[in-house]
Structure 1
Amino acid sequence: MSLIQNIELKWLYDLITLEKYRNFTMAADMRNISQSSLSRRIQTLENTLGFEVFNREMSPLQLTEKGKLFVLHARSFLDDFEYNIDKIKGTDNIRSKVTIASAHSLAGYIFPKILGNLKNYQEKIFHVEAINVNETVDHLRNGKCDFIASFYDDELMNPQFLCHKIFSAKLYLVTAPNHLGRPKFSLEDRSLPLMNYTDDSYMGKKVNKFLQDSQSEYFNITFVSSMSILLKDMIKGGFGIGWLPDYSIQEELKNNELMIIPLKDSVLSVDIYLYRSSSRLNAASEGLWNFIKAIDWT
């Protein structure tokens, strides 16, 4: 008898719920069973699989390395299973689900372009979560999403994941104009108030490397955030200067709401990727992956 014949479907739903809440009491409530029943069913699933899915010695619960991979498979299997059952039943307006986590600064630029090119996008439900860059990587590693849209990451360049470079972008040092339409801040100022990214963010590491290598005497960090959207609002409000990605400031540059500060070598390059697990995803996600790879982003 094959392994799959020994696994009950409800155990997989138990698993997905427990992975979401990382707490037996909360997950049992959501599954409308007792905590002891949930614990027993998860234990039986693990015994059947032959490996532990959860590390129970950590609080909150954490997935084991094998558990991360299995959760991804289980979620993809259930998504396909539910979709195909609805299709067989002839349910109207059935749609498959695609889950994507994206860095805040990328979400508003990438997804209108994807959906604008995808003629049958209404046949899918896109669950897009805009979060911190570091969180996107955790989401992918823990099987919480099908894809992440993020920046180049060495840790994801291994056989466990697949990646596709979507496009390259530039970070420009910008300022708001003053009431005369000239740059509010310029290199003639003794100290430039810098709206900067957090040190652990991808953008922050890029900017901080530049500051360490050259011209750091110009800048005085006065505001820090991991969200480039917030930094853009602060810069447009005239509170300081900062580096912003070109894809997020095209209209502002065109309308002279922001102006580039001509500091030597201050244009920083960034590469944007779509990442996924190398394991098979549900049919809708596999189709989207092939579609996105064919998009011309220029």
Structure 2
Amino acid sequence: MDIQQIRNFIALSKELHFWRTASMMNITQSALSRQIQAMEEELGVSLFERNKRNVSLTPSGIFLKEKWSVILEDLDHVHTCASKISKGETGHIRIAHPDSISSSIIPHFMGTLGERHPEITVELVQLLYKNIEESLQDHKLDMAFTRQLSKLPGICSHMISRQPVALFVPESSDLSRPEDITGAALKEQTFILPVAERQSRFYFFVQEIMESYGVVPRACYFSDFGSSLLGLVSRGLGMAILPGGFVHHGFPGVRAIEMPFHSELYICWRADEKSPSIMNATKVLSELFPVTDAH
């Protein structure tokens, strides 16, 4: 017997009428009768009691109706899930992102993705850039927002925005306006800098900014995590150059002063990606933030 024959049996067990069941299942009454007879012969049991006026289930028929109904519901659920996976309507995506977009781009992206594909689940993580590239290659990550263009083979990098950079200073600082940021003023300050040994793109970017002012920054504290830097700034332990997106974090005791520089933001994923849910996510992202450059 096959699944359709079992479905026909379930339908007949509910209707208890051969003609109505045959019409409902789009087969002839004689074909339905032959199917039921073949099932009874294969199973070696009687499924229905029949007479000229009534059709009723036998005890074996009642038992199989209960069991097969559950199995068919489970099977239908499995088929539905498989269809959703194929269409990218469901799945699990792991996305890395810098702290600077935690209160801006990430909520916007997650909200829109959730509206369009509510059954896709997302795991958000924050990693160092070196670990991001390795995790993408090893399939431990599916997508990543980064401040650095990936040049690894097999990794796509699309620039989705250029964001302003700001100097974050304690509220007690004498610096309060863009015109206050001069080489002479910066030489007198203590900075909190990215870690030099990791040689991230943003580390070199900060160095380039300082060089443009003719300043060799003096620093006692180092971190590659923006929230840590801002926490130190709020305690008056120095100032930091960070992407302007950190203004949305609302750290108390911190003032942001926009600088005449911009930092690129890229989205990266595997070039050979086949997951429909990940491709749906990249489609949503490209609609929200049209690609301005691709590699």
* TM class, shorter-length: 0.5 to 0.7
Residue 244, structure 1, aligned to residue 215, structure 2:
no
**Aligned position for 2:125:** 129
In the superposition, relative to structure 1, how do residues 259 and 293 fare at CA in structure 2: closer, same or farther (>3 Å)?
closer
Residue 195, structure 1, aligned to residue 192, structure 2:
yes
What do residues 76-100 of structure 1 show as CA deviations (whole Å, max 9, x unaligned)?
A: xxxxxxx96672599xxx9411121
Letter in 1 for 2:131: E
Matched position secondary structure for 1:284:
helix
**Greater CA radius of gyration, 1 or 2?**
2
What do residues 200-229 of structure 1 show as CA deviations (whole Å, max 9, x unaligned)?
A: 122211112233454224x31111001011
**Aligned position for 1:280:** 273
**Aligned position for 2:263:** 270
Residue 145, structure 1, aligned to residue 138, structure 2:
no
**Aligned position for 1:117:** 112
In the superposition, relative to structure 1, how do residues 125 and 188 fare at CA in structure 2: closer, same or farther (>3 Å)?
closer
Letter in 1 for 2:142: D
**Aligned position for 1:208:** 207
Residue 290, structure 1, aligned to residue 283, structure 2:
yes
Partners of 1:288 and 1:89 lie apart in 2 by: 17
Q: Is the 1:133–1:202 contact (alpha carbons within 8 Å) kept by the matching residues of 2? A: no
Partners of 1:88 and 1:153 lie apart in 2 by: 35
Partners of 2:125 and 2:266 lie apart in 1 by: 16
Matched position secondary structure for 1:116:
helix
Q: Is the 1:232–1:244 contact (alpha carbons within 8 Å) kept by the matching residues of 2? A: no
In the superposition, relative to structure 1, how do residues 124 and 240 fare at CA in structure 2: closer, same or farther (>3 Å)?
same
* C-alpha deviation, 1:106, in angstroms: 3.4
Q: TM-score, normalised by structure 1?
A: 0.58
Point out the more displaced range, 205-214 or 167-176.
205-214
Letter in 2 for 1:161: I
In the superposition, relative to structure 1, how do residues 248 and 121 fare at CA in structure 2: closer, same or farther (>3 Å)?
farther
What are structure 2's unaligned runs of at least 5 residues? 1-76, 291-295
**Aligned position for 2:151:** 155
In the superposition, relative to structure 1, how do residues 89 and 162 fare at CA in structure 2: closer, same or farther (>3 Å)?
closer
- Give 2:158's match in structure 1, choosing from 145, 164, 172: 164
In the superposition, relative to structure 1, how do residues 88 and 231 fare at CA in structure 2: closer, same or farther (>3 Å)?
closer
Measured on the aligned residues, the alpha-carbon RMSD in Å equals 3.4
Q: TM-score, normalised by structure 2?
A: 0.59
Identity %: 12
Partners of 2:83 and 2:209 lie apart in 1 by: 59
Q: Superposed, which structure 2 residues align to 1:1-298 within 5 Å? A: 87=81, 95-118=90-113, 119-156=115-152, 160-178=154-172, 182-183=174-175, 187-188=184-185, 191-199=188-196, 200-217=199-216, 219-250=217-248, 252=250, 257-260=254-257, 267-296=260-289
Q: Is the 2:192–2:240 contact (alpha carbons within 8 Å) kept by the matching residues of 1? A: yes
Number of positions where the alignment pairs a residue of Structure 1 with one of Structure 2: 203
Matched position secondary structure for 1:138:
helix
Matched position secondary structure for 1:281:
coil
Q: Is the 1:146–1:281 contact (alpha carbons within 8 Å) kept by the matching residues of 2? A: no
* C-alpha deviation, 1:271, in angstroms: 0.8
In the superposition, relative to structure 1, how do residues 100 and 190 fare at CA in structure 2: closer, same or farther (>3 Å)?
closer
Matched position secondary structure for 2:160:
strand
What are structure 1's unaligned runs of at least 5 residues? 1-82
In the superposition, relative to structure 1, how do residues 183 and 210 fare at CA in structure 2: closer, same or farther (>3 Å)?
closer
